[in-house]
Amino acid sequence: MKKFTILGSTCLLFCALAWAKKFPLTAAPIVPAAMGQAEVGKDKNGNSKVKITVEHLAKPESLTPPKNAYVVWFQESGSNLEAEGQLKVNKNLKAEFETTVPWKNFQVMVTAEDDPTAKTPSGPEVLRSTVNP
């Protein structure tokens, strides 16, 4: 019985990932080699699960002028931008970020900031996408 429970859970996980939609992230000229996407699915409560993956993203301290962090912002249509957290770049210039939001249609934006806890974006925009499933 335990095997069937594990098998069923695994199947549900893969089905949820297969139903996720992918939205390309457009890179700004400040990070021309960056390539990424936002993969959006649903959780059991109907919220949007968002996984952002980026490759070839320069570390923020390598930008001109140098910055301290990349901050991920979400904006539902007609609302203010909300900081969701940091997009941390590893030694291979790859980054991942995951969160859950209650919206179905929204903008995703990543900015390079001096302060990783910024309440409003002040640095240059580096990535952007529109999620509209």
Q: Indicate whether 6 belongs to any domain.
A: no
Q: Report yes or no on 13 lying in a domain.
A: no
Is residue 92 in some structural domain?
Answer: yes
In a domain, 58, yes or no: yes
Q: Tens digits of per-residue pLDDT, 35-67?
A: 999 999 999 999 999 999 999 999 999 999 999
Whether 104 is covered by a domain: the verdict is yes
pTM over the 0.75 mark? yes
Domain containing 116: what range?
20-131
The residues near 50 (Cβ < 8 Å, ≥ 6 apart) are 38, 39, 40, 74, 98, 99, 100, 101, 108, 131
How far separated are the first and last CA of the chain, in Å rounded? 37
> Quick one: pLDDT at residue 28?
97
Asked if residue 56 is part of any domain, the answer here is yes
Q: Tell me how crowded residue 6 is: count the other CB atoms within 10 A of its CB.
A: 10
- The CATH number for 70's domain is 2.60.40.200
Other Cβ atoms closer than 10 A to 125 = 16
In a domain, 72, yes or no: yes
Question: What's the domain count of the chain?
Answer: 1
Q: Could you report the per-residue pLDDT of 66-102, keeping only the tens digit for each? A: 999 999 999 998 899 999 999 999 999 999 999 999 9
